[in-house]
Structure 1
């Protein structure tokens, strides 16, 4: 069995596909991840974490 890999999503993409990729990895609705990111984004570090993840996480094949 092939291990699960985290990728930025091409299908569930709004900005960079990070939230969609995380949602696909955990098999949950991308809207829940996006809402969590918005709440986390109010701290200021959430925005930085999103863009760092967009650079580090590879695009879906």
Structure 2
């Protein structure tokens, strides 16, 4: 199967009202995005779950034209930051041990 023919769940730019979650899910499922919006509005009115579901979709669904979601981008940045910080800290620690004055006898 060609990669162009594989259906992917993405936040879309066409039909976007806030972040494109409903239009992306609608395109993926082949239904009108307004039905998704109505469902989320009803879920928000009866228990508040609609806002949470929408926020999770926004964080986990990649934007159209992107391969990674917001959460994946944040995790990658944090991992890169922590790996460079741990290397700097380790090197700084060894430098500190070498620079300490030696006790006199």
| Unmatched runs of 5 consecutive residues or more in structure 1 | none
| Unmatched runs of 5 consecutive residues or more in structure 2 | 66-105
Q: SS at 2:15's partner residue?
A: coil
How much has 1:3 moved relative to structure 2? Answer: 2.5
Q: TM-score, normalised by structure 1?
A: 0.89
Which protein has greater RCO, CA pairs closer than 8 Å, 6+ apart? 1
State the aligned residue count.
61
Structure with the higher helix share, 1 or 2: 2
Q: How much is the aligned-residue C-alpha RMSD, in angstroms?
A: 1.1
Question: Which structure has the greater CA radius of gyration?
Answer: 2
Q: TM-score, normalised by structure 2?
A: 0.54
Trace 1:15-54 onto structure 2 (pairs within 5 A): 15-42=18-45, 43-54=47-58
2:61 to 38, 57, 61: 57
